[in-house]
């Protein structure tokens, strides 16, 4: 069975996903942003940027998830209050953030 969300819900500071195998996941927006899979966040995380522009210390306190958009049938795009919108989160990634990997074939 291909794991797919059946329901995605906004929480006050994150999202909840109901999966088609009955599992329910919750993600804080801080976790989601820290795991943003876009190329820019990825290179920042890996320290590859020669010049790093760091956010203020209260960045995550003030940051808000402003919208969730479906991308085809495989991912969601998260839109953030600071204008960041290039992060596309495949369902596989979301599931792996919430639980140990399953050994399905």
C-alpha span between 89 and 49 (Å, rounded): 22
Binding mask 84-103 for Zn ion (x = CB under 5 A): ---x----------------
Of 9-17, 23-31, 32-40, 54-62, which segment contacts Zn ion by CB under 5 A? 32-40
Asked if 8 touches Zn ion (CB under 5 A), the answer is no
Measure CA of the first residue to CA of the last residue in the chain; give whole Å: 9
Smallest gap from residue 26 Cβ to Zn ion (A):
21
For residue 34, which phi and psi values (nearest 5 degrees)? -65, -25
């Amino acid at each position: 069975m291909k794991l797919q969300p059946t329901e995605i819900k906004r929480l006050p500071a994150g999202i909840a996903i109901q999966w088609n195998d009955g599992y329910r996941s919750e993600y804080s927006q801080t976790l989601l942003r820290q795991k943003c899979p876009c190329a820019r966040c990825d290179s920042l995380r890996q320290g590859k940027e020669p010049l790093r522009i760091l956010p203020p210390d209260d960045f995550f306190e003030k940051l808000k998830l402003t919208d969730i958009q479906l991308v085809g049938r495989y991912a969601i795009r998260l839109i953030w209050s600071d204008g960041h919108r290039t992060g596309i989160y495949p369902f596989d990634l979301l599931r792996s953030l919430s639980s140990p990997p399953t050994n399905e074939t």
